[in-house]
Structure 1
């Protein structure tokens, strides 16, 4: 039984929404960030990163307070408005290749604690505590957790009907996305949608494990104060068939002392190797891996060695770690080893080729993306994926919706 609630969202006025919303802060290069801050006074980047020029010279405490003050300035200037009563939203994102539609709502901390909202990624405690402090100091969150639910024909039909109405927002962004938002403020609709989710036994976090963990930590520290808003966190709920799962590919700086021929010979213990030479080859199915080394692409076909592998042992990212990255290349800590970096699978294989040809990296590995069934199986068994196993879309725009605490 899953619980969702409407909330009194704070959001940009319709005439400014295209100027206010932005991609995740980390997606911008320094040059892009400086340009947006210089030429767009309405960008939410001014809020989430105030005093950009001096950002390295101030404490986190002062930076978080600066975020809170700048957000209040935006509200005072009429850039943001607050809903008069709690509402849901239907939100659609159209990219160049995909379309995503889901529901923006509050989800329950109790559901998160009781594993009704399930996880498949580990979290870093320092990041959880840092974002918890950010939430506490700023008093708001604008980054919903991406949560997926089993496809439901009734909810699908309901969403399709709501999308026939005139949207609250209908705007495009500079990265060629189209965004539409519909407000759901009718009490009958709100109650009906809540009843539908009450019949869904489990929800799964697709993206946002640190954000949900931070919300739980904040709730636990301040629940005695009786702030009802801390009992929930903002989520973007989307059907399983709507999400797009990409792989994270790996590039490694050296061969850990191996000569190329010796390294290939070592790989043959666990893989059938085919030299694809200059063909830009990517894995076509599970248990296949691509490799770029010394100017050539290779196809690596895993030799299934265990007739009854565990769910985790069956995961391609785990196979690559267990058979190659750890024993051969000496990489133990996938999060912190400086010899490895990650390239989202939506980027071209040419990106990997170029980075290796430039000489900073020596070998790259391409994986086949996981599917939702693998993610759910891991979550159901309280297992954790290796770091950087999935890159999941859609990505929510910062500043589109604010959940005040």
Structure 2
């Protein structure tokens, strides 16, 4: 009996030692690692299951597969902060016609392709800012990704989004004609509580509200909801552990949204130094969506790099410069869908072109966006974090265009692309 007990003890000790020396699934050996904060030469990264197990220069373990990434940079999967997976470029089909004439089935089928294109471009997490008339199809797409039905980035979705009655489109029809809208209308205390809770109940990860819209005289952007209404939305969302983001382009719309407690301002074309100061003081981040305005202007006939910059582009440059000077936190999010999915990096290129430090732009797309979106296990190459990892040719901390040369994509420990 003692002999048997001894043999069992030895077996348990042997099993314990084996467990301690269990092999990693992957060992990545790039030229350098950008960990979400800074770049490190000659580091390696190990992954087991869906977690990063080791990051550094002195790996002593063993891995089932070693992937050499010569002259490449390994970095966290990019986190896209403003996308519309159910839209495609407006020079293909106008926004009105997408909302009014494309079935939700067609739009969902397109979204499958959009998600794969973004994933292959190194986007492993996307924040979708509203289904634009497709109901809760974005929630369904998120669930399909999570179940492994389709490949795509991790999704954070807003569902329908909330607009004030009379403000949003499509518009321009006879008063007897009612058409589907690109977002859900709600007004006043009781209605806003009901709609906000209903969107949460249908799977929205956060709430998007249109704090202003182009419904002023001559189509100017003017505030929609009152501060009290916006505060109601924020209070209901926060009571469920969620946050609110605001589409806002006018000074007054931005001011009301900031006062109400939203977490990010989207677009912000009409911001002033005072507004950006207010945002910085209250910890509100800014998602400028430079690439969307640039694309729409090109659709209108402007030849980038040939024609003089139109007033809209010049104003956007000025607004972005003010944001940089203010020190407000900048979110990478280009409003992709207005321009092709898979070309998400356009926004980062423009952020750098408009004056942002290249490494700061890279941080915005990784660790800073993760922090802003409350993703505490993403955005960094760090032991214990989820294994959302990409590799690119070159050094994106010096040349942001390197991000267009994606050779490897891993999400949640699974490799979706490997050209090595």
Question: TM-score category by the smaller chain?
Answer: under 0.3
Greater RCO structure (CA 8 Å; 6+ sep): 1
TM-score normalized with structure 2 length? 0.22
TM-score normalized with structure 1 length? 0.23
